[in-house]
Amino acid sequence: MQLQKLKTSFIGKTIIYYEKIDSTQNEIWRKIHNKTIRNGTVVIANIQTSGKGTHGRVWHTDDGGNVAFSFFIELNCNINILNGITIEIAKIIVDIFNDKYGIKLSIKEPNDIVFKGKKLGGILTETVLKGQIVKYLVVGIGINTNKQIFTKDIKNIATSIKKEFNIEINAQEFIVEFCNRFEEELLRRMGN
Domain containing residue 45: CATH number: 3.30.930.10
Look at residue 6 and tell me if it is in a domain: no
Domain-located, residue 150: yes
Q: Is the dihedral of CA 64, 5, 161, 151 positive or negative?
A: positive
pLDDT at residue 92, rounded to an integer: 98
- Whether 8 is covered by a domain: the verdict is no
| HEC secondary structure over the chain | CCCCCCCCCCCCCCEEEEEEECCHHHHHHHHHHCCCCCCCCEEEEEEEEEEECHHHCEEEECCCCCEEEEEEEEEEEEHHHHCCHHHHHHHHHHHHHHHHHCCCCEEECCCEEEECCEEEEEEEEEEEEECCEEEEEEEEEEECCCCCCCCCCCCCCECCHHHHHCCCCCHHHHHHHHHHHHHHHHHHHHCC
Q: Classify residue 5: in a domain, yes or no.
A: no
**2: in domain:** no
| Domains in the chain, number | 1
Length of the chain: 192
Instruction: For 36-74, write each residue's pLDDT tens digit.
Output: 999 999 999 998 887 666 555 566 566 677 899 999 999
CA distance 186 to 192: 9
In a domain, 1, yes or no: no
For the segment 98-124, the average pLDDT, to the nearest whole number, is 95
**Whole-angstrom distance, CA of residue 166 vs CA of residue 180:** 26
Averaged confidence pLDDT in the chain: 91
pLDDT value of position 19: 93
